[in-house]
Amino acid sequence: MTRYLVRRLLFLVLSFLVGMLVVFLLLRVLPGDPANALISVNATPEQIAAARAQVGSDQPVIVQLGSWLSGLLRGDLGTSFTSGAPVAGDIAARLAVTLPLALISFVIATLLGSVIGVVAAARARTWYGALLGAITQLGIAVPVFWVGLLVVWLFALTLRLLPSGGFPRDDWADPGAALSALALPVITIVIVMSASLARYVRSATLDVLDSDYLRTARALGESRAGAFFAHGVRNAAVPVISILGIELASTLLGAVVVESVFTLPGLGALLVKAVGEHDYPSIQGVLVVTTALVLLIGFLADVAQRLVDPRLRGSISARGGQA
């Protein structure tokens, strides 16, 4: 297991470096110049040259890359072209909205999706088991922005229970107001994510319920539920863990849509603003953070799978011994 962790960490670092290289080069290949964020339409050649020198776009690409990577190693993501503020500070402030939104939604959706999936599998031959399966299929098919609009119409406009959007100016100084602002976005993500998770949990649970070892446990006198929780949960959890990692990463990356619907000042909103203003340091900073988070989530999901399933640890040890 130790060798696997070392190899996986090295692969994580290498993947991150490759991702950063791709992000940097793609932004430089796209049409336009970073200096356009600082100049007006009628700028003179002298003003354009001064703006290019200010942002460093007049230097060779390899020099720009080296300067950016050296700052990245120091934790310096650069300075925004438009606001003049450090990009790291902007991102930290936006993460205070995006991370709670993603984590709260993930926890609730995981619990709800797991319960629905297990019940739908255990009662697959009943009318309500089939109904749960149909509802989850519908939840997957509905776009998240449409769910958000329906949630706003019901809870904010019709019932007037929750705010339709926005976030307190003082952020988390008033936790109650902050949680109230996140309530509808969380409900939106939970509806979509729990429907998707329930389908995977249902499929994994059906495979376990039809397995030979579970039938053997029941033949030895255990109840169906007792046999499942004693012998089947771990096996059913292995494929679901990788899906959980994908869903959490998708929630972070899909924050652009949800934050746009509910006008939340999160990481997605910062990325949209930076793209509109051609603010390259902010774009790069957001992509650096999101790439790092996605890679870290994948790493943790892989480790969790091996902790849950001893067979994976055994296969790793066997390969290490043969080597």
Q: Which residue ranges make up each domain of the chain?
A: 2-73, 87-322
CB count within 10 Å of CB 125 equals 7
Q: Report the C-alpha gap between 178 and 104 in whole angstroms.
A: 13
CA-based nearest residue to 95, from 285, 299, 280, 300 = 285
pLDDT at 173 over 90: no
Tens of pLDDT, residue by residue over 257-293, are 888 889 899 888 888 888 887 788 888 899 899 889 9
Q: Report the C-alpha gap between 241 and 122 in whole angstroms.
A: 20
Q: What is the mean pLDDT of the chain?
A: 83
Q: Report the C-alpha gap between 163 and 180 in whole angstroms.
A: 7
**Predicted local distance difference test score (pLDDT) of residue 311:** 66
Q: Report the C-alpha gap between 161 and 298 in whole angstroms.
A: 37
* pTM higher than 0.95: no
pLDDT at 314 over 80: no
Tens of pLDDT, residue by residue over 56-111, are 777 888 888 888 888 888 888 888 887 888 999 999 989 999 999 999 999 999 99
Q: Which residue has the tokens 């019932």?
A: 159
3-state secondary structure of 79: strand
For the domain covering 87-322, report its CATH number: 1.10.3720.10
Q: Report the C-alpha gap between 49 and 65 in whole angstroms.
A: 20
Tens of pLDDT, residue by residue over 7-23, are 888 998 899 889 888 88
